[in-house]
Structure 1
Amino acid sequence: MSDPRSAPRPIPQYGEYATPEEVAALRGVAVEAPLAEAPPAPAPAAVGGPAAPGGRRYDRPVTIALLLFGAINLVQYGAALLDFDTFLESATAGTPTESIDFGDAARVGGYVLFGVSLLLFLVAGFVSVQRLRRGRVAFWVPLVAGALTVASWVVVLVAIVFQTPDALAYPLALTASGT
Structure 2
Amino acid sequence: MSDTEPHARPDSAGSARPRPQYGEYASPEEQRARIQQPAPEWQQPVTPAAPVVTEAADAGIHPAQPTASAPSVGAPVRPRMVDRVVTISLLLYGLFNVVTSFPSFLDYGAYAETMFAVLGLDVTLSDPAAGRPYGIAAAIVLALGWLATAAVSVWSLRRGRLTWWIPLAAGILFTFVTGVLMAIPLMSDPAVVAALLGTTGG
Find the residue that maps to 1:92 and give its secondary structure.
helix
1:76 lines up with 2:100 in the alignment: yes
Paired position in structure 1 for 2:142: 117
AA aligned to 1:121 is W
Q: For the structure 1 residues 164 and 68, does the alpha-carbon distance in structure 2 shift closer, same or farther, using more than 3 Å as the test?
A: same
Q: Deviations over 1:14-56 (max 9, x none)?
A: xxxxxxxxxxxxxxxxxxxxxx99747725x7xxxxx625x33
Q: For the structure 1 residues 131 and 173, does the alpha-carbon distance in structure 2 shift closer, same or farther, using more than 3 Å as the test?
A: closer
Root mean square deviation, CA, Å: 3.1
Normalising by structure 1, we get a TM-score of: 0.62
Q: Is the 8 A contact 1:109 1:160 kept in 2?
A: yes
Name the structure, 1 or 2, with higher relative contact order (CA <8 Å, separation 6+). Answer: 1
| CA distance in structure 1 between the aligned counterparts of 2:156 and 2:198, rounded to whole angstroms | 53
Find the residue that maps to 1:42 and give its secondary structure.
coil
Paired position in structure 2 for 1:61: 85
1:152 lines up with 2:172 in the alignment: no
Q: How many residues align?
A: 136
| CA distance in structure 1 between the aligned counterparts of 2:104 and 2:166, rounded to whole angstroms | 25
Q: Is the 8 A contact 1:132 1:138 kept in 2?
A: yes
Paired position in structure 2 for 1:42: 73
1:91 Cα offset (Å): 4.8
Q: Deviations over 1:39-92 (max 9, x none)?
A: 47725x7xxxxx625x33310000000000011111111111111223323553
- The 5 A counterparts of 1:7-22 are none
Normalising by structure 2, we get a TM-score of: 0.56
Q: Is the 8 A contact 2:138 2:178 kept in 1?
A: yes
| CA distance in structure 2 between the aligned counterparts of 1:167 and 1:125, rounded to whole angstroms | 37
1:127 lines up with 2:152 in the alignment: yes
1:162 lines up with 2:162 in the alignment: no
| CA distance in structure 2 between the aligned counterparts of 1:74 and 1:57, rounded to whole angstroms | 26
Q: Deviations over 1:68-119 (max 9, x none)?
A: 0011111111111111223323553695333333523421221121011111
| CA distance in structure 2 between the aligned counterparts of 1:57 and 1:93, rounded to whole angstroms | 43
| CA distance in structure 2 between the aligned counterparts of 1:171 and 1:133, rounded to whole angstroms | 49
Q: Is the 8 A contact 2:95 2:146 kept in 1?
A: yes
Give me the identity figure in percent. Answer: 33
Paired position in structure 1 for 2:43: none
Paired position in structure 2 for 1:52: 77
Find the residue that maps to 2:180 and give its secondary structure.
helix
| CA distance in structure 1 between the aligned counterparts of 2:128 and 2:103, rounded to whole angstroms | 17
Which structure has the larger Rg over C-alpha atoms? 2
Stretch deviating more after TM superposition (101-110 or 138-147): 101-110
AA aligned to 2:126 is D
